[in-house]
Each structure stands twice: as C-alpha cells, then as structure tokens.
Amino acid sequence: MVRRSHCVILPSYNSGRALARTVDAVSRLGLRVWVVLDGSTDGSAEALGQPAAAGVSIIALPQNVGKGGAVLAGMQAAFDERFTHAVVMDADGQHDVAAVIPFIEKSIENPDAVIFGVPVFGADAPVERVKGRRIGNWFANLATLWLGIDDSLFGFRVYPLAPSIGILNSIRSARRFDFDTELAVRLVWAGVRPINVQTRVFYPMVSAGGVSHFRYVRDNVLLVYTHARLLVGMVCRLPHLFRLRMRRR
C-alpha cells in the first residue's frame, strides 16, 4: 500500500555532499524516489551520479527555478505514475529520514489530510531561525483563522498530490522561499485537513557538509509580501473559512 500510494521527492539545489548521503538513506526505505536537481552548479549532481537503487529517478532541471518549481516537477512526475501522496523533504541532511515511514503511516490513516512536520529543534538550531518563524506562523494562522498550521515554514511534509498540483498550477507564486508557507495556507483554504506531527530537525556544521541558501533580507522580504497577499486572500474567503471552522468543531 505504501509503495503504490506514497513516494518521496527530494528537491536539491547545491546541496553539496549531503545530497548523496540523503539519497542513499532514503533509497534504503524501499520507496519510489524522485531527486529533482534544481539547476545545481556545485558539482553535487555529478557526484551523485546515477543512483543504483531501484526506484530512484533523477529529474535534472536546466535552470534554478526555486524549491516550489522543483517540487512541482517532482509532484507531476509522481502523479503521472499514479501516486497519490508525496513526502517532500530537504536533500541537505536537515530532515530526519527515520521519520519518513511514520509520516507515511499517518497519511495512510488520513488520506484526505496534509501532514505538516513540526520541527523539534536541538541545540544546533540558529536562534534567529527558531524565534523568527513565530511571526510567520502567527500570520499563516491568521490567514487561515487558526485552522491548524503549527509550522508554516518547515519543509518536511506529506502532500496529497491532486490538490497540491492543482493549486500550484493555478498560481505563479510559491516557487521559491514562499513555497512552504503559501502552499500550506492554500491547502487549508481548499478544505484539506492539516495534521501536525513533531519531528527532529538537524543543522549540520559546514565542516560536515551543512549548507544554507536562506538569505535574511531577500527571503524575509519575500515572506512579508507573501503574507500580505495571503491576508488579502483571507478577507475574500472569510465566509468560507468560518464554514470550515464550524465543520471542524
């Protein structure tokens, strides 16, 4: 059941040597895996080579289109092979591979839901990442009238493919650092039930291959703009959101 319905998508942009380690660990789970190389220029694609594990495919995008664009390419490939759900996780070693199967099991129990990972931070987590996300989470919950997004930024999730692809194809945004936030909000707007599951997150040291493409000013400006657009969209959907709240009670 797991293999016929659920797969894994690993979007990767300049993930360094962590990419090969992550692909190797995920491939051992026996799931169908798509690695989406998002125009990488750091040699990680060449170092990865062609994975020997059965069921691992590589989609090489000629240009960097952003995480949302890369995930959409993987989602479409999975949907074309009749998968219904996809675990999306980072390729840089931040997400816990051991959590993949428990997340899939939760999704199988709740096939109509989106499973949101909620990060459990360790001592290695940057303070600004831990505290700064509280503001974004508050605005994401305001945009959905607190219908259940515990973390709007964490990229470890199980997405139902049909509604996710439909939403992404209907908008031009949600292609870069705004992807996780905007798709979470819009899925809730669409009536997809959110389920939140805690999971560990790691921040590997640079010496151990850790990488980060977060740019403090650029990406925070993008998030501010994203939240502003979503709040405008929320106002237009207030009657619908109130109806969703009433149904969930």
Give the residue extent of every domain in the chain.
Answer: 2-248
Give the pLDDT of residue 107.
98
Question: Other C-beta atoms within 10 Å of 115: how many?
Answer: 24
* Residue 45, pLDDT score: 80
Confidence band of 239 (pLDDT split at 50, 70, 90): very high
Residue appearing with tokens 């650029």: 218
Classify 2-248 by CATH class.
alpha beta
What is the structure's pLDDT at 215? 63
Tell me the C-alpha distance between 30 and 180, whole Å: 26
Provide the pLDDT confidence category of residue 214 given band limits of 50, 70 and 90. Answer: low
Confidence of residue 131 (pLDDT cuts 50, 70, 90): confident
Q: Tell me the pTM.
A: 0.92
Q: Which residue has the higher pLDDT, 207 or 145?
A: 145
Average pLDDT, the chain: 91
